[in-house]
Structure 1
């Protein structure tokens, strides 16, 4: 593929294209962003501008692509996911490319998924939107209304209030959480959805491979955390006190919302948390965890048919 510089050089050297090049030069120099750059650097020589018409042309084209962005996958820029920036170095016009916000988000998502394998967003959850949620009973209508309210008003770091969706297997709790996550993404708020039983097992293995602290910190500090299927894990004192308790305590102090799905209501979850693999019952420690959940998550019961059947 012929470079922009080569194309413009041919235009310069051809009488046929001379007028066309002149019009192109005028378009480049009347571009608002380029005009602002020149005005912000009044010491730029006219000859330097003239020598760099091709570079300014490239900047304008690539920047226009960014303004009409339709997503990272369809990025037409020469460096996919990178946006141009003009700068001056030793009185010479230079052009560099920086990763755009979509590129940065994609890289962070890959980093998280590589680090935490139990972080999962199935295809049907990726497609979840509030517009496509069934509203076939009163409990689902209420749950969706509460989910919409959270997704459109949540302010991590200011308010740590979340939601606790509970009900039988397959009633659509996780799908509603997916709609919340997608709506938050539209507001540039990061969400992590983890399948709780797998995540607890993965943290345990992280002690041996040295990734424990990094994985724990990632979940502790994400702006919005969704713990999916809480209560389905095999409970132990270590899981309850050193993982779940540590995560919830940190998020409570930092006012970071935590959302939950569970087959258990609060009373049933408290009973589940009181048991340990050693066979003992530790009600006080269970109540301590539940106090953090009760105070910072509104319980919402969802009934209905099994949608996975």
Structure 2
């Protein structure tokens, strides 16, 4: 039986096939991403290249997909969300795959949601942008402050956040969503938390042993957004063992915190002063409020109640 090589030679008597193969090989080696690999690995020989042509083709194709990424849901790569890399080992060119940036972000988001159940992003918040927000005189300052924060945010260097105050339904949470989505374009992670649910969850976390893990995750969030603070029934424990340590850490580490509330600074201080036992602890409430006041800019969000329209 004749060899494959002999059969090919008999079939390609005029050499056209061989020329086409050589041309495709050269186009592969001339591609920018393969050239970058070869320049970083001057020890690669022609023999190594010839033995690894299929891997080089695979690398070029898959990385080409990454360069024109259509998004994680439509990733055309063999392993969705993974991108290839070339390396040499024992005189051979090898290929490996690792999670791309979008895949890592997705997994980080899923890990957050599994850990902190009170993290929530309703569908309308997922789509919130500054361009879509209603522009009028009552909201102009709030939108300006929100956009300014999103564009200049630098967790770890600039720790000042925002305190968004306004009546029920005026769009405070939607503004947080627009800020969060703008931050996402800068690869800055934010935690958007519905505060009443978060405090209830932290109480339950004592029983299942996850309290410290949850507290650490929230304390260290690059940007923390506490939505509807003051709406929950205040207890001395949530104020002193949950909210206080979170704010103290974030203040020290210059990690910005944003709040929304139906209460202004003074009204929130009154809320925080009351405990579940009916007592009033003004000094402890004042300490919490001093941290909030010092590290936020007070922003009033005006307008009509859009939930009743």
Q: What TM-score bracket applies, with the shorter chain setting the length?
A: over 0.9
Pairwise mapping of residues 40-55 of structure 1 onto structure 2 (< 5 A)? Answer: 40-55=40-55
* 1:13 Cα deviation from its structure 2 partner: 11
Q: Which residue of 2 aligns with 1:204?
A: 203
Q: Which residue of 1 aligns with 2:3?
A: none
Pairwise mapping of residues 151-300 of structure 1 onto structure 2 (< 5 A)? Answer: 151-300=150-299
TM-score (norm 1): 0.93
Report the Cα distance in structure 2 between the residues aligned to 1:284 and 1:94, rounded to whole angstroms.
65
1:202-234 CA-to-partner distances (Å, cap 9, x unmatched) read 011001111111111010001000000000111
Structure 1, gaps ≥5 residues long: 1-10
Q: Which residue of 2 aligns with 1:8?
A: none
Q: Secondary structure at the match of 1:298?
A: strand
1:106-148 CA-to-partner distances (Å, cap 9, x unmatched) read 0000000011111000000000000000013x23111000000
Q: Which residue of 1 aligns with 2:34?
A: 34
1:286-306 CA-to-partner distances (Å, cap 9, x unmatched) read 000000000011111112211
Report the Cα distance in structure 1 between the residues aligned to 2:21 and 2:149, rounded to whole angstroms.
54
Q: Which residue of 2 aligns with 1:71?
A: 71
Report if the CA contact (8 A) 2:165-2:260 is conserved.
yes
Cα distance, 1:286–1:14 mapped onto 2, change above 3 Å: farther
Q: Which residue of 1 aligns with 2:4?
A: none
Q: Secondary structure at the match of 1:227?
A: strand
Q: Which residue of 2 aligns with 1:24?
A: 24
Report the Cα distance in structure 1 between the residues aligned to 2:11 and 2:145, rounded to whole angstroms.
66
Cα distance, 1:13–1:174 mapped onto 2, change above 3 Å: farther
Q: Which residue of 2 aligns with 1:306?
A: 305
Report if the CA contact (8 A) 1:196-1:227 is conserved.
yes
Cα distance, 1:44–1:199 mapped onto 2, change above 3 Å: same
Structure 2, gaps ≥5 residues long: 1-7
Are 2:62 and 1:57 equivalent residues in the alignment? no
* 1:12 Cα deviation from its structure 2 partner: 11
Report the Cα distance in structure 1 between the residues aligned to 2:195 and 2:230, rounded to whole angstroms.
8
Q: Which residue of 2 aligns with 1:144?
A: 143
Q: CA RMSD in A?
A: 1.5
Cα distance, 1:13–1:189 mapped onto 2, change above 3 Å: farther
Report the Cα distance in structure 2 between the residues aligned to 1:12 and 1:177, rounded to whole angstroms.
68
Report if the CA contact (8 A) 1:12-1:21 is conserved.
no
1:235-265 CA-to-partner distances (Å, cap 9, x unmatched) read 0100001100000000000000000000000
* 1:171 Cα deviation from its structure 2 partner: 0.2
1:37-86 CA-to-partner distances (Å, cap 9, x unmatched) read 22222222211101111110110111111111121111111111011100
TM-score (norm 2): 0.93
Report the Cα distance in structure 1 between the residues aligned to 2:30 and 2:261, rounded to whole angstroms.
59
Q: Which residue of 2 aligns with 1:5?
A: none
Q: Which residue of 1 aligns with 2:109?
A: 109
Deviates more, 1:186-195 or 1:44-53: 44-53
Report if the CA contact (8 A) 2:52-2:92 is conserved.
no
Report the Cα distance in structure 2 between the residues aligned to 1:230 and 1:108, rounded to whole angstroms.
25
Report if the CA contact (8 A) 1:158-1:255 is conserved.
yes
Cα distance, 1:306–1:26 mapped onto 2, change above 3 Å: same
Q: Which residue of 2 aligns with 1:7?
A: none
